[in-house]
């Protein structure tokens, strides 16, 4: 009998929390357009506004700052295009939803640990002309590396630039206060915290910014995002945010499990490479390469053994390709092409890491990379 599948791909999407499923089912059973003034409409509006408060509370924002969108991709696109013609500067390790929304943007280099090169950013802003928008994510989706947003914000402010920050991976994993973060615009997504797919938000921390909507029509979301709100999805987002806030203390334990896993990997296979391990990271994320074994081979072998992980970002229509993030960090193509991501989350258990190590060990042994059989046996 095959063991229960182990899910270690929370950075791609987190399982829906049972309470969220129940809340969404209740909202779906309720008729009413939140723009209608009758009782049913007012009840739908209440769900939306309650969720707005819950999402704002997770990140230390005000409810009035929150504009609901169809997801993180739309939130990023609205931030990058909503201010009109501006110089765009984006870090080399951004998610594709930023890189492709900002085609033609100036690319900010990063260090070998994946941290933005401050001097390069300052020089790029100084030498350019016209108003600029800088987009730097708080936590990388592939490596978990955290950017020191306070320093980046200082550089942006010193050069009169607007700062957008994608905090999609960080939300619900580390405590956040967007007012202290220093960003003017912040993007969120529901499905990374145990909410539904297809719902996100853009938070306008600097309310003085006048964003032009991507979608035009009705006056929903204060005319920032036309279209009848996805009431059930938004309600699920709100409850997921509230539950994520309650579970923040438990994220430290995930960090202990992740760190123990990496120590065991290094002990049994010293030639394995851990990316970003010397930089501050999210507690739930590990990015590791098994030299000589293609990422696709690792992902498929782990899948066949009932362990679900990713190679790079999971937002590329199922494609497994060498990570642009790792390439920007200076990893050779062959090493970047052998990297996988392990990410834990709200429903992870200690045995999940043990099961991953058991299967990963067999891959490493077949590749001739196991150098410490004692450590290998203890990983089983």
Whether 341 shows a pLDDT value over 60: the answer reads yes
Spatial CB neighbours of 343, under 8 Å, sequence gap ≥ 6 = 8, 9, 10, 11, 12, 144, 284, 285, 286, 309, 310
- Place 380 in a pLDDT band, splitting at 50, 70 and 90: very low
- Place 312 in a pLDDT band, splitting at 50, 70 and 90: low
Element (H, E) at 77: helix 72-81
Q: Are 92 and 143 in contact (CB under 8 A)?
A: no
Nearest-CA neighbor of 345 among 284, 274, 286, 290? 284
Residue 319: the pLDDT is: 54
Identify the weakest region by mean pLDDT among 10-14, 83-87, 106-110, 130-134.
83-87
Cα three-residue angle 378-379-380, rounded to 5 degrees? 90
Report the alpha-carbon distance of residue 168 to residue 58 in Å, rounded. 12
Query: How many Cα atoms sit within 13 Å of 207 on the Cβ side?
Result: 8
| Average pLDDT value for residue range 285-309 | 96
Burial 119-155 (b: 16+ CB within 10 A, else e): eebbebbeeeeeebbbbbbbbbbbbbbbbebeebbeb
Whether 248 shows a pLDDT value over 60: the answer reads yes
Residue 128: the pLDDT is: 85
- Strands 339-343, 87-91: pairing kind: unpaired
Neighbours of 209 (CB within 10 A): 14
Sorted by where each starts, the structural domains of the chain and their CATH numbers stand as 6-14+249-378 (3.90.1150.10), 18-246 (3.40.640.10)
Neighbours of 377 (CB within 10 A): 10
What is the SS3 assignment for 39? helix
Whether 37 shows a pLDDT value over 50: the answer reads yes
SS3 content of the chain, % helix, strand, coil (to 5): 40, 15, 45
Report the alpha-carbon distance of residue 94 to residue 2 in Å, rounded. 38
Distances (CA, A) of 221 to 52, 70, 141, 261: 11, 12, 28, 44
Q: Output the average pLDDT for the chain.
A: 93
- Among all residues, which ones are annotated catalytic? 315
Distances (CA, A) of 170 to 102, 205, 330, 337: 22, 17, 24, 25
């Amino acid at each position: 009998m095959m063991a229960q599948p182990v899910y270690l791909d929370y950075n791609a999407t987190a399982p829906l929390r049972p309470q969220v499923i129940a809340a969404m089912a209740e909202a779906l059973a309720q008729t009413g357009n939140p723009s209608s003034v009758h009782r049913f409409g007012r009840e739908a509006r209440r769900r939306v506004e309650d969720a707005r408060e819950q999402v704002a509370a997770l990140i230390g924002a005000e409810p009035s700052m929150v504009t609901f969108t169809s997801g993180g991709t739309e939130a990023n696109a609205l931030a990058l295009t909503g201010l009109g013609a501006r110089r765009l500067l984006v870090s080399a390790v951004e998610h594709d939803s930023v890189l492709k929304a900002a085609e033609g943007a100036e690319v900010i280099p990063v260090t070998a640990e994946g941290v933005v090169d401050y001097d390069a950013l300052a020089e790029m802003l100084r030498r350019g002309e016209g108003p600029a928008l800088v987009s730097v994510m708080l936590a990388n989706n592939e490596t978990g590396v955290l950017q020191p947003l306070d320093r980046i914000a200082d550089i942006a402010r010193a050069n009169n630039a607007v700062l957008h920050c994608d905090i999609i991976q960080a939300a619900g994993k580390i405590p956040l206060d967007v007012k202290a973060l220093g960003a003017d615009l912040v993007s969120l997504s529901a499905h990374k915290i145990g909410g539904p797919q297809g719902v996100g938000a853009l938070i306008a921390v600097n309310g003085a910014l006048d964003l032009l909507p991507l979608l035009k029509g009705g006056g929903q979301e204060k005319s920032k995002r036309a279209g009848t709100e996805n009431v059930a999805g938004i309600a699920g987002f709100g409850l997921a945010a509230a539950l994520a806030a309650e579970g923040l203390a438990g994220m430290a334990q995930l960090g202990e499990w992740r760190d123990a896993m990496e120590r065991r990997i290094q002990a049994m296979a010293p030639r394995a490479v851990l990316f970003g391990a010397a930089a501050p990271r999210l507690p739930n994320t590990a990015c590791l390469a098994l030299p000589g074994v293609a990422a696709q081979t690792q992902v498929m072998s782990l899948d066949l053994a009932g362990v679900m992980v990713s190679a790079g970002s999971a937002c590329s229509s199922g494609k497994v390709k060498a990570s642009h993030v790792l390439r920007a960090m200076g990893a050779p193509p062959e090493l970047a092409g052998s990297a996988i991501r392990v990410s834990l989350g709200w429903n992870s258990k200690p045995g999940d890491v043990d099961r991953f190590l058991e299967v990963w060990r067999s891959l490493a042994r077949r590749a001739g990379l196991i150098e410490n059989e004692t450590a290998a046996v203890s990983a089983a």
